[in-house]
Structure 1
Amino acid sequence: MKRLMERASKALAFGLLLTGLNAFAAAPEAVPGEFIVKFKDDAVATSSLNTLSQELGSYIKDTIPGQNIVVIKRPVFEIQSNVVKSLAQNPNIDIIEPNYIYRINKTPNDPMLGQLWGMINNGQPDSQKREGIAGVDIGAAQAWDITTGSKDVIVAVIDTGINYNHPDLKGNLWTNDAELNGQAGVDDDGNGIIDDIYGANFVTAAKPTGNPLDDHGHGSHCSGTIGASGDDGKGIVGVAWNVRIMGVKFLSASGSGSLDGALKAIDYATSKGARILSNSWGGGGSRGNESSEQQLQ
């Protein structure tokens, strides 16, 4: 009897645990306020829309007469389960459910995707032949089912520049349209930099140029990770398949640059509309402690 009570107690606890987990589970995606209603008889074909609307107490957005189905719209603030439960009591309704959203799984066809363990980790070895751990990745496959990026987003890669001739980057480059459509050798947008079509070069901060071509490789590597074109059947794929990448160079071929170059690069990027900045570099010093000591003295 004691064992039976223990088992019952454990079963109850497990059931409560599942109930709690289910309460926090994400509901399937559906069009807000919309429901699919299938009638038991041929009501859709024989009744007027006004009659059906009154019967359902809902606005009828669309009909599928051949399937005896209507699509209804309710106020979006109504609780989905309550709407289903209420309308299910109608004896003329056969099926009612939310207007669920279905999506195709978005897995790109880029042939080198399997090498990018940070995107999708199936346990494949890394570049140093070390065995990987399946599942240790950024969840890119799940994210791509939601979005693959937007051309409305501008990302400035403030680095060693960008290879704007690379086939996996060319389709996702930001362009300065005033310079692109202007005259060669002329500062068409009046910002003091000539022909800054894909970005600018601040390696020599006092005399910036309009050519951010990468002569090191690091900036192009970062750009590819962020936004190499996806699902194009070649090369790799970035986290965002669709994006606009601005090349802003202040690090030289040796991989170093000055603070004023960095500051001018950041100022340029923000002035041109970039709100996301990739700054994959570090160094410099900190005078915080010294300043505090001077203040205390």
Structure 2
Amino acid sequence: MQSPRSRRWLPASFLCAAALVGVLAPLPAAVQAQVLVAKGEATGLIIGLKNSPTADETLMGARVAGRERAQWENAARQGRERLTRLMKNAGLPQGTVGEAGNDQLLRFDRPLRGEALANAVRRARLHPDVAWVEPDVLVPRLAVPDDPGFALPTGQWHLQAPDVGNLAGLNLPSAWDDTKGSASVVVAVVDSGIRFDHPDLPVLGAGRMLLGRDLVSELSISNDGDGRDADPSDPGDGVSAFDATQPEFAGCNAANSSWHGTFIAGQIGAATNNASGVSGLNWNSKILPVRVSGKCGARLSDLLDGLRWAAGLPVSGQPTNTNPAKVINLSFGGDRTCAESPGYQSTIDAVTYAGSLVVVAAGNQDRGLTRPADCRRVMTVASVRRDGAKADYSNFGSNVALAAPGGSAEGGASTYLLSTSNAGTMGPAAPAYEYKQGTSFAAPQAAGVASLMLSINPFLSPRQLIERMKVGARAHVALGGLPACGTPGAGPCNCTTATCGTGMLDAHTSVQLATGPAVVIKPLGTVEPGTVITLDGSQSVAIPGRSIVSYQWVQVSGPPVAVTADQTPSAKATLVTEATYEFSLTIVDNLGRRGEDRVVGIAAMPAPPAGGGGGGGSTGQLWGLSLWAWVLAVALSQRRRRPR
């Protein structure tokens, strides 16, 4: 049921009245636990193989084509063959094999849950060729605790310049004086798809929305009657009362369609300065919708493939993305940490190495971070209210880069965020505009600002974008009567740098910081100890009209080594012992602007050849003995539980 405070209607001058969603308060811990158990069904296993061919460093981050794509396809085939042998040798449930992001996927012939799923996971983990395994489960879209456009007081306050009544404003008008975006920059929205019929989201040819891809593989949640295809239109992700009673939707509550991806696409790139609707952060860049979620959320395997495809990396069975995104918005949460999900981190690594910034939402449970918000190399964004306090729902933690407006309920329409939507409750109806709140909608603010920065300086790396936005952030505010953030469930609180990042996102300062030179370093990868490596920063660039006048290489971490020719574009160093080494290159242009980035090299002895599917030798025998010991233990346990 909607809260009375949560419903507002837009003036008649709009194309359609906007229906507000009600505030969805975070679930109590006990209820969350029940939901996790109820949603324990898995359609397969995502498996990380030791010495995985598809996770090879030479392939994982390359936007490959031609011969190189053939090499990746060959590696993928090898992975499928290894997984097929492993499935038989380990006695895993029957199914089909494929990829999930950078790793392997066993898709069961029928979904498993409970003890049957636990047995399959244990069997896979015991196999000597397996580095890690996790079930392929549904990842829910972030719970939404629940123009006329740009004008205040009830319009897009979050885009305005900050002032006394609007401390969290993004300061876009000043940023737009420098750039309104470039058509050469592509921003991907990996989400529920979009409604191409919305007048503020015109397709390419009439506007800036690229056609993208639908990567939802499971018919029961796709809601469009088919699997993966070339149409990322959002058919609606509503769950009816009847749906909620069906086994495939166990753990899903009945709910109207969210139009989640449509809302986010409008935040980043709604048609602007057209006397209609709302304003987007970027007026000119392309938006690439990648549909990965449907009813109840997204399969983890679909989500990981969606990230790869958005970045222009190969995905088996899918055509090459000819419009790779330099910025990817991912507003999904998770119920486990990134450390417990190596496949998630591996895919993020590959996407980042390919040069795409992944911007993620902190989450809406008012607690510490979970995947992907706690993964390395992502840009995690927390949510603040209009007055600068942390929103009551926003998660927090040390991996948060900065905070951005996410909307809040205390002031109704004047404190929610406004963007593009649809009036349909289940399937699509008339285009609409809607007010929402959540970290799902804070993250696109940072993604949009990153796209403006790339419009000025397309050579900025993901790390450089994050660091420059952090440097340009405004300091957090301290409001009287609120505690410092850090305690789960505390509600609104004063952000600190340890909980909400360096500060509040400022678009104008971030865009100004984009005008410095960009360091571009050739990746190092893994070499044997004693190898002389070349630290190659020769592709570093200054923006047009400026030149680089100095280079400086320094070692940041690892066993100390000598860096020779350290004031040239290409220095050298010897990685003397097995360890991880990190080096930094700082460049300065002729106006004194600085640029800096880092590169990691690993010295390690070559790994021994992988076992032949676990079928022999001492390792295979040990695996067999371990499996039989586990079977015996289960049998004894069941015998003890028999009634006497």
Q: Shorter chain as normaliser: what TM range?
A: 0.3 to 0.5
- The structure with higher relative contact order (CA 8 Å, sep 6+) is 1
Higher share in helix: 1
TM-score (norm 1): 0.46
TM-score (norm 2): 0.22
Max radius of gyration: which structure? Answer: 1
